[in-house]
Amino acid sequence: MPRVQIVRHPVVQHKLTELRDQRTGPKRFRELLREITPLLLYEATRDLEVEEVVVATPMGEARGHRLRWTIGLVPILRAGLGMAEGALQVFPEAQVWHLGLYRDEHTLQPIAYYNRLPPRPTVAWCFILDPMLATGGSAVAAVDILKRWGVPRVVFVGLIAAPEGLKRFEAAHPDIPVVVAAVDDRLNDRGFIVPGLGDAGDRQFGTASG
């Protein structure tokens, strides 16, 4: 799948291993999400367009570059919230638009329950933030929404993906890049990634998994 990039940087893999560890509590889990997200975004933003500018330094003039377009961050509620703070460290001026999607436990299909996007797009690039790309349903639905909104460029950024989810995502949106830290073995019969890290929302917020 040529649009999937796995970030194998040693620091990313070190932090991902600690995230996977079931002994990692909610506080540290949230910290790790905040720390790993900027590292993933550095890789996900290599194609951002820039424009040349001249700025005054204390010693004279210097030529440099500034991002050409506005950036939107789209954390998928609720697990994506843990990635938003780290993403804002990279793009402190970014617009943040939340999408609420949950997976029906029986059908494993995504159900949208929150969407406050304005009538017309206000950004040129959107980065979808969701730790897990499992069945692929929520990721596909999020891209569907953003494409209908009219955003020119969309990128999915997560931690772990399953082969089944990537296949579904690629079939629906072959033009959209996916940046993750790992692609795991498979999904279990409940639609969870194996070995994965469990439920990313439950683990960061300290709620019991059902």
Q: What pLDDT sits at residue 62?
A: 97
Q: What pLDDT sits at residue 109?
A: 76
Return the CATH number at 123.
Answer: 3.40.50.2020
Catalytic-role residue among 45, 78, 144, 199? 199
Q: What pLDDT sits at residue 1?
A: 55
- For residue 173, tell me if it sits in a domain: yes
Report which DSSP code applies to 188.
-
Q: What pLDDT sits at residue 111?
A: 82
- For residue 68, tell me if it sits in a domain: no
- For residue 70, tell me if it sits in a domain: no
Token duo for residue 28: 């540290």
Domain that residue 155 falls in = 4-46+76-205
Catalytic-role residue among 45, 70, 78, 202? 202
The total number of structural domains that make up the chain: 1
Catalytic-role residue among 20, 24, 103, 144? 103
* Residue found by looking up tokens 């001249």 in the block: 54
- For residue 59, tell me if it sits in a domain: no
Token duo for residue 32: 């790790």
Q: What pLDDT sits at residue 61?
A: 96
Active site residue 107: yes
Q: What pLDDT sits at residue 110?
A: 77
Can you list the residues of the chain whose pLDDT is less than 50? 210
Catalytic-role residue among 8, 104, 107, 185? 107
Active site residue 120: no
- For residue 90, tell me if it sits in a domain: yes
Q: What pLDDT sits at residue 2?
A: 57
- For residue 60, tell me if it sits in a domain: no
- For residue 17, tell me if it sits in a domain: yes
Q: Which residues contact 139 (CB under 8 A, 6 or more apart)?
A: 128, 130, 133, 156, 158, 165, 169, 178
Active site residue 103: yes
- For residue 57, tell me if it sits in a domain: no
| Positions of E strands within 60-183 | 60-67, 71-77, 95-96, 99-103, 110-115, 125-129, 132-133, 153-157, 160-161, 178-180, 182-183
The H or E element that residue 200 is part of is helix 200-205
